[in-house]
A and B are shown apart, each in its own frame.
Chain A
């Protein structure tokens, strides 16, 4: 009886030490839930969710302060993924969020650009290059299509262009064919 107690006590001490050590050794910086949510968000950084970027929205979701259906670029699939992660029910887009749009990139009309640098300051991912009084241009591969640079331009030379289907981004379609159901 006593030996059993001793064994159990020793075991508890050893395991406790292991757990304590693991907690220190494998300590994760930051809030893992926020990071998990942030990993699902599309990182467009557009602010359409009414938060100043994806991370703040992720933080708000994790804190239970925001709904999961506020990110238009993430689409319905994004909501589904958030619902799966958080173990909550799927929710369609709310009335106050914009409808998802096809993915686009911004294009600067280089002949109109006056080099005011306002768009550079607006771009959340530094996808615009240019210097004061010089023509500006957008690195299409890095543009997330957030549209934040469109409004600040004083000469309206930035427009959004939908990314068109090319051989390089073409996808096989979902099969369509006639089906007979078994009698």
Chain B
């Protein structure tokens, strides 16, 4: 039995998970259209490589990764690209972003797939490139390109953690994936372990998912021979507590190690991937399939909560229609109730703006006033420190709130604002109902914007200094050139001047005297020859 560790704080919100685990994962039917955002991952937007009017096949590249942190985007089915333009996307800002709209032709015709026969014959760099071009990103929520997380640093990776904790209420997509497709998760995990050259693989699953734990264990035993080279795969049931599935907290529970502030897990020899990401890695390499679909939980105010395997770009209203939103629906949340956000442009039941699901969409909660009553009016902070008790990052949420509220960003930073994982545990327990996380998000984005402005200012200062130097240099060079030119002109002028009468007389004099000397010399020579002849 493995010793488990505790992290500070945590809360126990009602899990609401059983509603959506009664039925197996259902494939969502082909939607009427697919709106595929070109920016679904952390980092740079992918560059569109198709045009409106183009016919594309399922799995064809439509967005090329652009920049170091970026990922590819593919056509989720075969059909015609209707437009590449700005569309409303699932983002808390409610702002549009570049999307490719695809009208399916209904044939679902694949491009030619190129599976990797044996990934062990390839270098990690090659495999990383394949994953980047397959559009594989973290499916746990942050959608960080997986190839970047597989880059080897100086630090040896000892432990690979497969995150199957799924601690947020309502969400069950990872649970169902583990129950139904454990074998492929285990194979994907072994690929990740091979790439990182990790010693052990720990699957962290909360103990409220016994079926998933059993399925993973069975898959590991069954693939015993295939995993011979693997050092150790172990499923670990961890206590159910929110936010136990957050990377730093999960690492702490499984290894007892603390990721220092401002550091990455890899700095302490640990790397973490979501179980669904491992599944996708396996599909991408063993089958050559780019990331085109994912499992999404549809729950909340619906007739039948369920998990669907849906294509990326599926309009969320069409997806929700499969579970039938109830008449008193008043909105849609993407993600869980603790960390998710209300989708823009979608409020009542029935058709609304076609906000599409993306690679990061793990759950859609249909909300109603009964399920999520509006928060009671907030009251001033009474410094009860209940927020401190539950904060998993060991922060002082009430102080952070104070600094964010008064816009004392420097002090918020010295109180480790950026260690806050925005889990919402503090807001959840706050008796004054203060929307604490909103303050932290506000403060963080203000600080980031200021740092960005500072960078731009430094750049402008350098460029201005360079500009001044250049002007100075050009002036000097011009002056030098001018001086040189003048000198040359003077010399030329001197040479071209006609001779004065005096100078001519002088020159004539010189010629006559030269003549005279020559004559004298001549006579002297003649003289000498005469004398010799006489002898």
B226-254 vs A, CB cutoff 8 Å, 1 = contact: the mask equals: 00000000000000000000000000000
A164-180 vs B, CB cutoff 8 Å, 1 = contact: the mask equals: 01110111111101111
Q: B470 near A126 (CB under 8 angstroms)? A: yes
**Nearest chain A residue, comparing its CB with the CB of B435:** A175
Q: Does A117 contact B (CB under 8 A)?
A: no
Contact of A43 among B97, B446, B461, B470 (CB under 8 A): B461
Contact of A175 among B380, B442, B445, B459 (CB under 8 A): B442
Interchain CA distance A25-B438 in the complex, whole Å: 49
- Closest Cβ of chain B to A138, distance in Å, is 13
Q: Does B460 contact A (CB under 8 A)?
A: yes
Q: Does B488 contact A (CB under 8 A)?
A: no
Q: B378 near A177 (CB under 8 angstroms)? A: yes
Q: B378 near A179 (CB under 8 angstroms)? A: yes
Q: B439 near A170 (CB under 8 angstroms)? A: no
Interchain CA distance A171-B442 in the complex, whole Å: 7
- Given the known inter-chain contacts A177-B435, A182-B380, please indicate yes or no for A167 contacting B463, CB distance below 8 A: no
Q: A44 near B460 (CB under 8 angstroms)? A: yes
In the complex, chain A residues 115-172 whose Cβ is within 8 Å of any chain B Cβ: 123-127, 142, 144, 165-167, 169-172
Q: Does B457 contact A (CB under 8 A)?
A: yes
- Closest Cβ of chain B to A183, distance in Å, is 10
- Hey, which chain A residues are within 8 Å of B52, CB to CB? none
In the complex, chain B residues 430-478 whose Cβ is within 8 Å of any chain A Cβ: 435, 438-439, 441-442, 444-446, 449, 453, 456-461, 463-464, 466-467, 470
**Nearest chain B residue, comparing its CB with the CB of A166:** B95
Considering residues A171, A175, A181, which has the most beta carbons from chain B within 10 angstroms of its beta carbon?
Answer: A175
- Hey, which chain B residues are within 8 Å of A167, CB to CB? 39, 89, 91, 93, 95, 97
Q: Does A37 contact B (CB under 8 A)?
A: no
**Nearest chain B residue, comparing its CB with the CB of A44:** B460
Q: B95 near A165 (CB under 8 angstroms)? A: yes
- Hey, which chain B residues are within 8 Å of A41, CB to CB? 457
Q: A171 near B446 (CB under 8 angstroms)? A: yes
Interchain CA distance A122-B458 in the complex, whole Å: 20
Q: B377 near A126 (CB under 8 angstroms)? A: no
- Closest Cβ of chain A to B90, distance in Å, is 11
A42-60 vs B, CB cutoff 8 Å, 1 = contact: the mask equals: 1111000000011000000
Binding site for B on A (CB under 8 A): 38, 41-45, 53-54, 123-127, 142, 144, 165-167, 169-175, 177-182
Binding site secondary structure of chain A: loop
- Hey, which chain B residues are within 8 Å of A45, CB to CB? 460, 464
Q: B377 near A179 (CB under 8 angstroms)? A: yes
Which 3 residue pairs are nearest across A and B when measured between Cβ atoms?
Answer: A43-B460, A175-B438, A125-B463
B68-98 vs A, CB cutoff 8 Å, 1 = contact: the mask equals: 0000000000000000000001011101010
Interchain CA distance A156-B378 in the complex, whole Å: 54
Contact of A125 among B97, B441, B446, B460 (CB under 8 A): B460
Contact of B438 among A172, A179, A180 (CB under 8 A): A172
Q: A126 near B466 (CB under 8 angstroms)? A: yes
**Nearest chain A residue, comparing its CB with the CB of B444:** A172
Q: B463 near A126 (CB under 8 angstroms)? A: yes
- Closest Cβ of chain B to A100, distance in Å, is 14
- Hey, which chain A residues are within 8 Å of B380, CB to CB? 179, 181-182
- Closest Cβ of chain B to A136, distance in Å, is 16
- Hey, which chain A residues are within 8 Å of B459, CB to CB? 142
Q: B378 near A180 (CB under 8 angstroms)? A: yes
Interchain CA distance A167-B38 in the complex, whole Å: 12
- Hey, which chain A residues are within 8 Å of B446, CB to CB? 171
Q: B441 near A172 (CB under 8 angstroms)? A: yes
- Hey, which chain A residues are within 8 Å of B467, CB to CB? 123-126
Interchain CA distance A43-B445 in the complex, whole Å: 22
Sample of 14 A–B contacts (CB below 8 Å): A43-B456, A53-B464, A54-B461, A123-B467, A126-B470, A142-B460, A167-B91, A167-B93, A170-B95, A171-B445, A172-B442, A177-B375, A179-B377, A179-B379
Q: B463 near A181 (CB under 8 angstroms)? A: no
Q: B464 near A43 (CB under 8 angstroms)? A: yes
Interchain CA distance A44-B464 in the complex, whole Å: 9
- Hey, which chain B residues are within 8 Å of A170, CB to CB? 91, 93, 95, 445
- Hey, which chain A residues are within 8 Å of B449, CB to CB? 169, 171
- Closest Cβ of chain B to A122, distance in Å, is 11
- Hey, which chain A residues are within 8 Å of B458, CB to CB? 43
**Nearest chain B residue, comparing its CB with the CB of A142:** B463
Interchain CA distance A126-B377 in the complex, whole Å: 53
- Closest Cβ of chain B to A2, distance in Å, is 50
- Closest Cβ of chain B to A118, distance in Å, is 15
Interchain CA distance A181-B380 in the complex, whole Å: 7
Interchain CA distance A127-B456 in the complex, whole Å: 13
- Closest Cβ of chain A to B475, distance in Å, is 12
- Closest Cβ of chain B to A159, distance in Å, is 21
**Nearest chain B residue, comparing its CB with the CB of A103:** B453
- Closest Cβ of chain B to A126, distance in Å, is 5
Q: B379 near A180 (CB under 8 angstroms)? A: yes
Considering residues B375, B379, B449, B457, which has the most beta carbons from chain A within 10 angstroms of its beta carbon?
Answer: B457
**Nearest chain A residue, comparing its CB with the CB of B437:** A175
**Nearest chain B residue, comparing its CB with the CB of A126:** B467
- Hey, which chain B residues are within 8 Å of A165, CB to CB? 93, 95
- Hey, which chain B residues are within 8 Å of A127, CB to CB? 463
Q: A125 near B95 (CB under 8 angstroms)? A: no
Considering residues B39, B444, B463, B464, which has the most beta carbons from chain A within 10 angstroms of its beta carbon?
Answer: B464
Q: B464 near A124 (CB under 8 angstroms)? A: yes
- Hey, which chain B residues are within 8 Å of A177, CB to CB? 375, 377-378, 435
Considering residues B97, B438, B444, which has the most beta carbons from chain A within 10 angstroms of its beta carbon?
Answer: B438
- Closest Cβ of chain B to A167, distance in Å, is 5
- Closest Cβ of chain B to A20, distance in Å, is 32
- Closest Cβ of chain A to B76, distance in Å, is 21
**Nearest chain A residue, comparing its CB with the CB of B442:** A172
Interchain CA distance A175-B445 in the complex, whole Å: 13
